[in-house]
Each structure stands twice: as structure tokens, then as C-alpha cells.
Structure 1
Amino acid sequence: MPSPAVKKSNFFGRFAGRVTAWSGSTPAFSIAMGIVLVWAATGPLFHYSETWQLFINTGTTIITFLMVFLIQRAQNKDSLVLHLKLNELLAAHRGASNRLINAQDFTEEEIELLHQYFCRLSDMAKRDHDLGRTHSIEEAEENHQEKKRVRYRR
């Protein structure tokens, strides 16, 4: 049986997912647009007073503040799921480098180093006139050297 903390987390996750999905829908946009139009139309009635302006400013600020956290939570979950799927593909592919599993946890320096390495792989493929040929990090230099040896033997 799940603990109360897990139940609350699941409830909040479902709630956040539903609110985020609904807030991006046409009806949600239509309601928001309607509120703004009603507010704008009532301007002359309230003589464009500070209270009239404060009403829309306060409402939009509160909604924006709350939505930032809900949307960020949804994006965090989506990002994690995407990373898991990519990790599964890397782990399942025989020629892929397992070093790239959990690359999202690498430091900026490690990411830059890998970027430079993949640029080298791209340059090797261009020199070989075979952009469809792929290499893992571990195989790249060895494969490139082997191709050079085969060319020199001809």
C-alpha cells in the first residue's frame, strides 16, 4: 500500500498534468480572452480607475505565478521521460556508447568535450565521403584508422 506521501505526490502529479494540459487548450484560451475583453469593456464603466487596473494585474500575476510552477513540473517530468527513453535506446543498441547514458547529468565541460569529439566524428565522415556511416565514441578512432590502412594497402 502506497504511503500518504506517495499518494499526495501522485495526486499532485495528476492534478498538475490535467491543469497544464487544460491550460494549453482552446477553451482555456477562449476563457482567458473573454475575461480580458470583459475587463477592457468595463473600463469606461469604472472610469479606468486604479482599482480597475489592479484587478486585472493582480489576477494575471497570481495565475502566471502558479502556472510557472505547474508548467515547470510538467516539463521536468517530460524531460526525465525523454532521457529515460534515450537511455533505453543507447543501452539496447549494440554499437552505441554506454558512456552517454545519463548525459543530462554531465558537467558543461564534459558536454563540451563530447561535442568536440562528435564534431571530429562528423569531420571524419565528411573526409570519408560517407555521412551515413556511424561510429560510437569507442569505435570511432579505431574505425577511422582501419579505413586509412585499407586505403593505403590499395
Structure 2
Amino acid sequence: MTPTAPGEPTHFKASASRAFTFFAGKVAKWAGHPLAFALGTAVVVGWAGTGPFFGYSETWQLVINTGTTIVTFLMVFLIQNSQNRDGAAIQAKLDELIRASAAQNRYIGIENLTEEELYELRQRCETCAMAERLDDAREAADEAEARARDRARMAAERFG
């Protein structure tokens, strides 16, 4: 939990955080809706349609540039907040699955490793997976060979 500013009540911070989380979630969900795309397209088409009326002036161009820049700037923060929360929730769920299963608990919290450490860990996991596949293939080959031997022995007993 992050510290509050001096004189700021803790309940205010939690309430503001909840309000922002709610707002960011709603905006991110709405922004991904087809109607939001249609509205954005309508605004651009409407703006383009007014070009001849305003003589394609610099001010006319500045209106769309400024509007889209402001919307994009604010949306980055809202969507990033939603993605951060979604990522943290997924990570918590994965950690719980790891903790509650026969998986190795040492993988809990690896999202805090450096890029190099994660690369090394992935390489080790890939090496282990390849070794397991090789072991599985050898086991399958041994089983197939044993079945073939059994069939050959049974055929030899029948005909010999």
C-alpha cells in the first residue's frame, strides 16, 4: 500500500482509488466497443466534411490534431491502468494455481525477474521440456519394441 500525503485520510485515498478504478474500467470497456469506433470515425468524417467550409486552414487541421492528441494521451493512462489490474489479477490467479498444485512454487513471483533472468529460466524450462519429450519418445519406442517382440513371440508359438 502506498503512503498517503500528510493530512490525507486513508479512507479518502482508498475511495479515490476505487473511483478511478471504476472509471478506468468503464472507459476502457467502452473504448473497445464497436460503437466507440463508429463514433470516432463519425467525428473524423464530420471534421473532414467541414474542410471546404473552413478552407482547409491551419486552425481546421489544429482542431483534429489537438483533439486526437488529448484523447490519445488520456486513454493511454486509463487503458494502462486497466491492463495493469488485469495483469496483476491474472498473475495472482496463476500464483494460486501454482501454489495449490504439484507445480514448483519457485515460479511464483518470477514476473519480478530481469529480462536476462527470465530468458535463462525460459531456456532451462525449454531444455527440461525437450529432455522430457526425448524421454517420452524413448519410452514409447521401448513399449513399441516390447509389443513387437510379444507379437513375434506369439506368432512363432502359433506357427512353430
Higher helix share: 2
Count of residue pairs brought into register by the alignment? 128
Task: Let me know the Cα RMSD of the aligned residues.
Answer: 1.2
Residue equivalent to 1:83: 91
TM-score (norm 2): 0.76
Question: C-alpha separation between the residues in 1 aligned to 2:47 and 2:99?
Answer: 55
Residue equivalent to 1:48: 56
| Identity %, equivalent residues | 46
Equivalent position amino acid for 1:43 in 2: G
What 5-or-longer segments of structure 2 have no aligned partner?
Answer: 1-9, 138-160
Equivalent position amino acid for 2:68 in 1: T
Computing the radius of gyration from Cα coordinates, the structure with the larger value is: 2
Equivalent position amino acid for 1:45 in 2: F
Residue equivalent to 1:141: none
Question: C-alpha separation between the residues in 2 aligned to 1:38 and 1:109?
Answer: 49
What 5-or-longer segments of structure 1 have no aligned partner?
Answer: 131-154
- 2:27 aligned to which of 19, 31, 35: 19
1:92-147 Cα shifts (integer Å, max 9, x gaps): 112x11000011111223212211211211221232135xxxxxxxxxxxxxxxxx
Question: C-alpha separation between the residues in 2 aligned to 1:21 and 1:115?
Answer: 33
Residue equivalent to 2:39: 31
Per-residue deviation, 1:49: 0.5
Q: Which moved more, 1:119-128 or 1:8-17?
A: 119-128
